[in-house]
Structure 1
Amino acid sequence: MTTAALAPPAQPPEQNASYRFTGPRLPSTPALARHWVTDLLRFTGRAHLVDRAELCTSEVVTNAYLHTTSLVMTVEVSLSTEGVTVCVHDGAPGRAPQIRPMWADPDSLTLTGRGLGLVDAYADQWSTALDESSKTVWFLLLDDQTARCAA
């Protein structure tokens, strides 16, 4: 007996579309958000951005979980011809997160506090936006194909 698997036809990358995931402030939410983002990128033809998106999403959502009391976190992914923007919104406006240098306090036994340094290293751009009731941390991953064409 011979079996064969059919591969779905290649689809062009989605452009100018936004997707949203909202989850409660639970220990499982960072992993769920990370997997949702990576699955979305694979499905929409952006598999070449998955590794960077996975790392950056994990760091930013984990920060919202660990350092806020927000009841929910929302991850929004916007696809464009230039790349992918991921925004993580929480309901805790507080202070803007700060980068802690990777080499800070080398004798410290804690392994936390260096996540935004990773985001800074792997994202093409990132920033925060605060208003009276919420905070957004976002990062942009430029499409490698677009960056090569522009060079």
Structure 2
Amino acid sequence: MATVVPRDTWVYALRLPHDPRAARMPVRSVLDSHGRSEVLDAVQLLTSELVTNAYLHAGGPVSLRLTALADGRLRVGVWGGHPRVPAPFGEPPGDRVPPAPAGAQGGRGRCLVQEYAPRWGGWSLESGPLDRGAGKLLWFEAGL
């Protein structure tokens, strides 16, 4: 009889300083230390986009959660203080985000998530079940 060993599971939760670049180094460090370099570039890019959007649209504190799931997927969650869940993070499959106009300075982050993440979602925390007040959690998955 074969023994099945589940993949290494772990969770990292970080409260980020008010700097959109603050997520890149922790993401790299965590993924490198767990041998997940195959998803590093995509996860760094998508995490950076979500963190930047959280700071641009909410202005308050931002938290990051990296979770390795038993089936090999990696889930990345970004919590921000604004309660509105934007497309495409609503009800799966959610509204599609149109491409940003050529030459636009922004507007590509959510498009990148829907292009490169196999799964994503979000929910509003209107009443503060996590004792953080109003806000939202947006997440995406990588791997497998």
CA deviation string 1:2-49 (max 9, x = no partner): xxxxxxxxxxx972210011023x2x3x21212211210011110111
Residue correspondence of structure 1 range 22-33 to structure 2 within 5 A: 22-24=15-17, 26=18, 28=19, 30-33=20-23
TM-score by length of 1: 0.74
State yes or no: 1:125 paired with 2:114.
no
Query: Is the 2:118–2:141 Cα contact (8 Å) retained in structure 1?
Result: yes
> RMSD of aligned C-alpha atoms?
1.9
User: Which runs of 5 or more structure 2 residues have no equivalent in the other structure?
Assistant: 1-5, 89-96, 127-133
Query: Is the 1:101–1:114 Cα contact (8 Å) retained in structure 2?
Result: no
1:21 corresponding residue in structure 2: 14
Distance 2:121 2:10 in 1: 21
Number of corresponding residues: 123
CA deviation string 1:29-85 (max 9, x = no partner): x21212211210011110111011011101110100111132x11000001232100
TM-score by length of 2: 0.77
Query: Is the 1:96–1:128 Cα contact (8 Å) retained in structure 2?
Result: yes
State yes or no: 1:101 paired with 2:94.
no
Q: CA deviation at 1:125?
A: 0.7
Residue correspondence of structure 1 range 53-64 to structure 2 within 5 A: 53-64=43-54
Distance 1:127 1:60 in 2: 12
State yes or no: 1:78 paired with 2:67.
yes
Query: Is the 1:14–1:45 Cα contact (8 Å) retained in structure 2?
Result: no
Letter of the 2:136 counterpart: K
- Structure with greater Cα Rg: 1
Distance 1:131 1:124 in 2: 24
- % of aligned pairs identical? 34
Query: Is the 2:57–2:82 Cα contact (8 Å) retained in structure 1?
Result: no
User: Which runs of 5 or more structure 1 residues have no equivalent in the other structure?
Assistant: 1-12, 144-151
SS of structure 2 residue aligned to 1:60: helix
